[in-house]
Structure 1
Amino acid sequence: MIDRLRQMAIFAKTIDHGSFRGAARELRLSPSVVSHHISQLEDSLGIALIYRSTRKLTLTHEGHRLLAAAHKMLEAVEGELADLSVSATAPSGELRMTIPSVLSQSQFTEQIAAFSKAHPRIRLSLDFSDIRRDLIDDGFDIAIRMGPKAKTTATSRKLFSVERRLVASTDYLASRLAPDHPDDIADWDWLALIPVQNAPVSFTKAGGTQATIKHEARVFANDAQALYRLARAGAGLAIVPDFLAREDVQAGTMGYVLPNWKLRVIDVFAAWPANAPKHGLIHLALDALSQNRP
């Protein structure tokens, strides 16, 4: 029975990771050993659980049934072990997170600091980068992403939204006639993030009036903070998270362009591996970070 339970656990991890190699890395076994355990399980049951090809693994009907049972078994065991561990000691371990670099300038970092102070036995490894890192292949526990209309799923959760503003230095604005409509700024000096450099810009005014313009950027950057510094130096217009510009706008060195027209907000969301324990460190961190407002 013990061998059968072990084989079921290995089978579930293999499907969760999508390959023998991925499961082997987590379980610290060789891919051949993982494959051997699943073959033994199939032999003992007298059924095929997985159809194997060079590119992927596909579950049979019986494989889907067993996977559901295996997940229930693992969740029950992991939940009880986590509860026992938390009740015995303070949460401890290591969490690795990849985070867009621009959020290092937001209150999100303060929320991370508060979580760290509340749980001093948890080691945090934070990768602030605008290079999109792979959650599984790069070995992260949580990936913080930014994008429009984030959805909450079994492996992702919206944390908060970020307001974006079109900004320019007050010196640059003083050299131009004050615009009334987005069409008035289509030929201004635009600065753009490389991932969205060709995307049209849509505005919404109070009352529901909408306008979309296409522009030709003169300067491109792959980092929102660098883009903002270029705008602050007078190079042109930039769309940035409001938290980057707020203090400079209040100080009078930067200004909002078309302040009565709004841009679509960007959602910040977290993603995590499908096999993350429901009572583990990942969900402990997610619950704390979900309370954040930038």
Structure 2
Amino acid sequence: MINRLRQMAIFAKTIDHGSFRGAARELHLSPSVVSHHVSQLEEYLGVALIYRSTRKLTLTNEGQRLLTATRNMLDAVEGELQDLSATAGEPSGELRITLPSVLSLSHITDQIAAFSRAYPRITLTVDFSDTRRALIDDGFDLAIRMGAISKNSATSRTLFEVRRVLVASKDYLATRTVDNDPSALVDWEWLALAPVQNVPLSFKNKDGETKKIKPTLHMFTNDAQALHRLAHAGAGLAIVPEFLVAAGIDNGTMEIVLPEWELQSISVFAEWPANAPRHGLIHLMLNALSKAKF
């Protein structure tokens, strides 16, 4: 029975990594040994678990059933080990997180700081970057992303929504007349993020009326904080996260344009590796962020 349990764990690790070589590297075994254990498990069960090709491994129906059962078993064992470990001391280790740089000015930074205070033995590396980091290739345990669509799956979770607002400086608006119609703004000086420069804008009012426009873009930048600063300096209209412009609205230097029209919010969601332990540091951080009120 011990050998079967070991073979099942090796089988699951092989699927997590997508190759015998990847599993072998983590398990400190040779690829041939890993392949042998999976073959032995298939021989014992009398079914094929994996279709092998030169490019990838594909699960059979029987392999998918066994993988689900194996992961449930491993999660249960790991959970018990974590609970026993917790009685002996605080969680410890290293956790590497990557986030868009604009979120450095959001409340998620406060939540990460609170997590650090609650778990002083966990060493955090927090990468705020405008370059989208690869989760596995760049060596991160957890990635916080921003996108127009909420994401919830076995390896992703929506954390909160960010309201977007159309803003301009008070000085810029003093020279123009603002009609309560998005279409009237098409020829104004628009500032935009370079990655989304060709995306039409959709506005919706409280009556459910929707208007789509594709304004003439005047300036591009690849940084949301720079976009806000340019708008603050009077360069034109910009769509930014509400938390970026809150201070400017409060002190009267910035104004929300078309306050009766709403833009689609942006989802902030987390992504993590498929083989992340359910009771490990990654999920400890996820649970802390998910319980927070943003």
Bin the TM-score by the shorter chain: over 0.9
TM-score (normalizing by structure 2): 0.93
Farther off after superposition, 18-27 or 173-182: 18-27
Structure 2 partner of 1:224: 224
Question: Within 1, Cα distance between the matches of 2:68 and 2:178?
Answer: 62
**Aligned AA (1:264):** Q
Offset, 1:184: 1.0
Matched, 1:265 2:248: no
Which shows bigger deviation, 131-140 or 212-221? 131-140
Equivalence map 1:195-274=2 (5 Å): 195-274=195-274
Gaps of 5+ in 2: none
Please give the secondary structure, in 2, of the residue aligned with 1:146. strand
Map 1:30-49 → 2, pairs under 5 A: 30-49=30-49
Give the AA of the match of 1:87.
T
Matches for 1:111-130 after TM superposition, within 5 Å: 111-130=111-130
Residues 1-294 of structure 1 aligned to structure 2 (within 5 Å): 1-294=1-294
Question: Normalising by structure 1, what TM-score?
Answer: 0.93
Partner Cα distance (1:286, 1:180) in 2: 41
CA contact (8 A) 1:192 1:221 kept: yes
C-alpha deviations, 1:229-272, integer Å up to 9, x for none? 11112211111100000101111111111112111111111121
Cα 1:140–1:64 shift into 2, 3 Å: same
Whether the aligned pair in 2 keeps the contact of 1:189 and 1:236 (CA below 8 Å) is yes
Using the alignment, how far apart are the partners of 2:251 and 2:34 within structure 1?
61
- The structural deviation recorded for 1:112 is 0.5
| 1:31 to 1:222, Cα distance in 2 relative to 1, 3 A | farther
SS of the equivalent of 2:192 reads: strand
User: Structure 2 CA distance, aligned partners of 1:240 and 1:62?
Assistant: 49
Identify if the C-alpha distance between structure 1 residues 218 and 29 changes in structure 2 by more than 3 Å, giving closer, same or farther.
farther
Cα distance, 1:55–1:95 mapped onto 2, change above 3 Å: same
User: Aligned pairs, how many?
Assistant: 294
- SS of aligned partner of 1:77: helix
Give the aligned residue type for 2:93.
Answer: G
Q: What root-mean-square deviation, in Å, do the aligned CA atoms of Structure 1 and Structure 2 show? A: 1.8
Q: Which letter does structure 2 place at the counterpart of 1:57?
A: L
- The Cα offsets for residues 6-53 of structure 1, whole Å up to 9 and x where unpaired, read as 221111011122222332343344444433332343345454321111
Supply the AA of the counterpart residue of 1:268: V
> In 2, are the aligned partners of 1:108 and 1:293 still within 8 Å (CA)?
no
Residue identity over aligned pairs, in percent, reads 68
